[in-house]
Chain A
Amino acid sequence: MRRPSFPLWLVSGFLYVFMYAPIVVVIVFSFNVAKHGGPWTGFTTEWYQQLLRPAYSIASELKVVEYREHIKQLELRTLFNKISEILLQPRNDKWSAAINTGILAFASTILATALGTMLGYGLSRYWFPGKKLFSLLMYIPVVIPDIVMAVAMLSFYAMVRDWLGLFELGMTTMIIAHITFQIPFVAIVVRSRLAGMDPAIEEAAHDLGASSWQTFWHVTFPLMLPGVLAGAMLAFTLSLDDFVVSFFTTGPGATTLPILIYSSVKRGITPDINALSTLIVLASVIGTLGVTLLQRPAKPSGG
């Protein structure tokens, strides 16, 4: 490994400053006392407390639920209803946006991971006519601009609504739209994980008496699991950050955090928005770190 020369240091230094300075500004000003933004007037955690206040009340309300009793009585449905009632109770606009973002991210990630994993496995392990074309088409949602994707989804929904009366804009349409752009990311990660696997490993399983199904569950799936999880984290992070597609496919009552932030900043950037953004950055960083850890290459089996 060579040491970089001074000009290289300089260039990379600038690069990092440009990349991270805005984020640092957001984080720093989320601790600013001044209510309507503007110059630094002092340090406070007031905005975080405000944001997280509903979390405290939710925690205290959740504490009261008699879990043991419900589970003993097998009243799982009642228990589920109680918990979701506490979680979904409208508290303030930021909190319900956070809940919406969470529902959207979790629901779309789970479904996109299941579908994307199947797609990645199929593309890596089967041959069918038109496979090459299909592999290329899979990249379209990855490469086309979000705005085009968003407009396409919106007009598609409008068309289907005219014909069938389905797809009233709201959480469901947003979830479907997110799944659409998440699937290829999951599939690509899963497929590359499978491509790095020695094909003899699956043959060995067959040879040792495992049927196709046993081979998949006992060998292939455990080996591709890190890829599946990495794909899921990537999908989750993408959904969490998404503004454009959500903005176009959302309906009344289904505001997400990015949309909320967009509409608030039109009235000026306030420290509580900075605090909210900081929390979102934190969630994304955790997700990305997870992907990086899981994406480390499998330890080689030879040599």
Chain B
Amino acid sequence: MFQRYGGLLTKDIVTAFRNYFFLIVLGVALLFVGLTNFLIPKELSIKPAVYYYVDYDGGLESVIDEAILQSQEKHSKIQRVEAIEDIAKNMESNFNSLGMVIKEENNQPHIQFILQGHENEKLRNTLILSMKDDLRSRMQQKIEIERIFLNKDIEVERIPFNLGMIPIFIVMESMLLGFFLIAALVFMEKDEGTIRAYLVSPGKIPEYLMAKITLMVLLGCISAITLVSLTLGTGVDYIGMLALVILGSIAAAIGGLILASFFQNISQASIWIIVIGIVLSLPFMSYYMPSFAPRFVKLIPTYSLLFTAREILFPTGSREIIYWTSLGLMIFNVIGYMAAVAAYRFSVKRD
């Protein structure tokens, strides 16, 4: 059995190598590394920077300081300047910015916002209202701001935008690419008719499928290690990441195998490949727009994979998502593998 599995795996690796699968995987991984390190900005925020000057030393000075500090937690681009002229200077050099002057008028703090004039009104109003609210609430000392959700957002915001793309790349390439590559490999063998020759040898279908899944896991790991090591360096939980990539690659490969079992060639399967690709991509929208997370999107496997990959690479302490996703993948992989074996037993007799 192990001799056969070894033979099948060697054959699949050589075939994949000569079909440039390794080159494709490595090339795409390096492309993503290049995008992450050199093209995608570390910060992609449409929130303007705020330069403020405090010309107030009344009784509420400490309250104002505290309120601004709170605003800084939500919006890290708030910077205090030493002179009112510095606000204009900074705003001239940063087109996406606004200014704020806190003065005393009639023994009361008075806030003056200085705008560029081109700002998106919605964003501008949101920011101003948010800061006004923080200041007012502190001064009236009525509202204690709930910080639970805010803190979570703060953690997310702290991941640089470019590095925040890495979980997407890992799910897209290290795992989902296996779905397409394994289907391509099976269609190639169907075209060659080699599976018939295999079926009249003592080789078994489970070994045949297992070797192909192993190849996909290998490609997934090469991709993930290349991508993560060249972007995040060494300070990453590689064991956790590889465990997820292995489980995810197996799941994607099983999906590709089952899909390929129903069709004779890639053109017959292409419409399904496109549809499945689109469905699996929907959770990528939720990743950057958490407000877009309808129930059906949460049920798509890539949703959990994305947020689990993020939790592993940029931990926030929410380990439950890792455990649940891993458990789900393990269950899927066992059932999916059995289904794939059954599908192939049926399809080889049918074809």
Tell whether A and B belong to one assembly: no
B residues near A (Cβ < 8 Å) are none
